[in-house]
Homo-oligomer: A and B are copies of this chain.
Amino acid sequence: MDVEKKYFSNISFRERAIFEGAISMAALFHQFIGTPVNKKTAKSLEMAISDSLQLQPAIEKVEVSIDLRRVKQANTEFNYVSLSGDMLDVRIHSKINDSIAIVRMEFIEELNYPLMYVEDINTVD
């Protein structure tokens, strides 16, 4: 089966780069929110998140940063927290042919919301 032709010929390469980046960003959020984490385990969790999301279609790079200041602020009696959206800053690079999208998630205080948006979208020469 020609997957590209059958399922993706109705959108442009640029649109599909955006589409695939968006999918992986929301996958990341809804898969990993709730995971127990503290400053000792943040690195291995960042690595597993990055490794697993890079497997998805069109994903070239996943940069994940867990904000240890916010982890500390949310700390509990048991010295760990549940990972939440305000602790994450993520950039996902997706590429379809010559179109590269960088989808970003960052917590915006003014919105009290972990906003997902297209930080950059361009064409490789």
Give residues in A with beta carbon < 8 Å to B.
1, 3, 7-8, 10-11, 14-15, 18-20, 22-38, 40-41, 44-45, 47-49, 51-57, 74-80, 82, 84-85, 108, 110-113, 115-118, 120-121
Min C-beta distance of A48 to chain B, whole Å: 3
Question: Quick one: copies of this chain in the complex?
Answer: 4
- In the complex, 7 of the A-B residue pairs with CB atoms within 8 angstroms, ordered by the A residue number, are A3-B111, A20-B22, A26-B26, A31-B34, A36-B56, A45-B48, A77-B111
Contact present for B19 and A29 (CB under 8 Å): no
Residue of B nearest to A82 (CB): B85
Contacts of A25 in B (CB 8 A): 23, 26
Contacts of A44 in B (CB 8 A): 44, 47-48, 51-52
